[in-house]
């Protein structure tokens, strides 16, 4: 079945692995999600945000959906994608459609700074409460202050190498 048959607001996309994939506009996200849920995609497996910086729209979230099948229908999987602008990264929450979206949206907020309007508990989930910024954004400043460590290779003569091997064998035989 073409993905556009599930909901008129879906735009079919091709995927290299053949999994049905569709884009939906942010304004139609909740309506499209409800239509998919009501057509059997009752399980949200994951929500995967991606930072496409410097491209605009900057972010994209992929929702992985599962129709477990039953009542004469075969199990099916689907990707639902939504583009999120970089200047105002926000979407409506899908936690009312799929409760599993709650924690996935918190993770997207915590690491990418994407806001989910109507979310019941949008706060950090992985980073400390006092953390500044969003570490999975491509423009997040890397804060490495440790100098790079370099080592010189150990140089031994052939005689020293043989002596070390023999000493190791003797030590191993005594244990």
Query: What three-state secondary structure class fits 174?
Result: helix
| Averages of pLDDT over each 10 residues, the chain, 175 residues | 83 93 97 96 97 97 95 91 97 98 97 97 92 93 70 79 88 59
Q: Please state the CATH superfamily assignment of the domain spanning residues 3-144 in this structure.
A: NADH:ubiquinone oxidoreductase Nqo5 subunit (3.30.460.80)
Q: d(Cα 73, Cα 68) in Å, to the nearest integer? A: 9
Beta bridge partners of 80: 22, 63
Judge whether 122 and 110 are in contact, CB under 8 Å. no
Peptide bond into 57 cis (omega under 30): yes
- pTM for the whole structure: 0.79
* Cα gap 94→118, rounded to integer Å: 9
**Predicted local distance difference test score (pLDDT) of residue 3:** 82
**Residue 98 per-residue DSSP state:** -
User: For residue 120, is the peptide bond before it cis, meaning its omega torsion is within 30 degrees of 0?
Assistant: no
* Rounded Cα–Cα distance for residues 93 and 73 (Å): 29
Sketch the domain layout of the chain as residue ranges. Answer: 3-144
């Amino acid at each position: 079945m073409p993905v556009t048959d599930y909901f008129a607001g879906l735009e079919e996309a091709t995927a290299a692995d053949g999994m049905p994939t569709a884009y939906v506009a942010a304004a139609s996200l909740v309506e499209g999600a409800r239509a998919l849920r009501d057509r059997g995609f009752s399980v949200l497996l994951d929500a995967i945000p991606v930072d496409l910086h410097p491209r605009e729209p900057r972010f994209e979230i992929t929702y992985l959906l599962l129709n477990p099948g039953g009542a004469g229908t075969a199990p099916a999987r689907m990707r639902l994608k939504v583009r999120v602008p970089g200047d105002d990264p926000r979407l409506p929450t899908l936690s009312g459609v799929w409760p599993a979206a709650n924690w996935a949206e918190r993770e997207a907020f915590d690491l990418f700074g994407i806001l989910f309007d109507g979310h019941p508990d949008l706060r950090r989930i992985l980073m400390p409460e006092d953390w500044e910024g969003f570490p999975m954004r491509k423009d997040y400043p890397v804060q490495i202050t440790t100098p790079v460590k370099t080592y010189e290779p150990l140089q031994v003569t052939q005689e020293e190498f043989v002596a070390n091997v023999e000493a190791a064998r003797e030590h191993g035989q005594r244990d």
